[in-house]
Homo-oligomer: A and B are copies of this chain.
Amino acid sequence: MKTIGQTLWAIPGGHIPLRGTGHEPELTSHDLVCLLNMNDRDAHIKITIFYQDRDPVGPYTLKVPARRVRHVRFNDLIDPEAMPLDTDYGGVIESDVPVVVQFTRLDSGQAENASMSAMAFPVDEPQVLPDKAKK
């Protein structure tokens, strides 16, 4: 059986916003992980959360059935412990079959906010920076 996607994904920029405005739960501020399982087999997912100043916490486990998508708010991860708000974290997603993973955030905290995000671009060759940088 052919499978598609990848089995290990990383999200370095997690941070669930503290404040929110609008209809709940639809407009509650949240970080969201979106898991797409295009395979004919169920995907068993393990999420581990990395923090700035303590050991990783996990695994949070969940299932994405065959040929289904599942969107999970980090806000709703409670076992082995509830995710803290307003705290820097990184999420790592492991799956037993290949999946595709997208990260989104809704911040409904105040009208003035605009936000954007992108993974940095990974370059293959190491040690290429010019020596002439001002020190």
Q: In chain A between 76 and 104, which residues have their CB closer than 8 angstroms to a CB of chain B?
A: 80-81, 86, 88-94, 99-104
Contact with B along A1-43 (1 / 0, CB 8 A): 0101111111111110010111000110000111111101000
Q: How many copies does the complex hold?
A: 4
What's the dominant secondary structure at chain A's contact region? strand
Chain A contact patch, size range: 35 or more
Q: In chain A between 42 and 91, which residues have their CB closer than 8 angstroms to a CB of chain B?
A: 46, 48, 50-53, 55-59, 67-71, 80-81, 86, 88-91
| Chain A residues with a Cβ under 8 A of chain B | 2, 4-15, 18, 20-22, 26-27, 32-38, 40, 46, 48, 50-53, 55-59, 67-71, 80-81, 86, 88-94, 99-130, 132-135
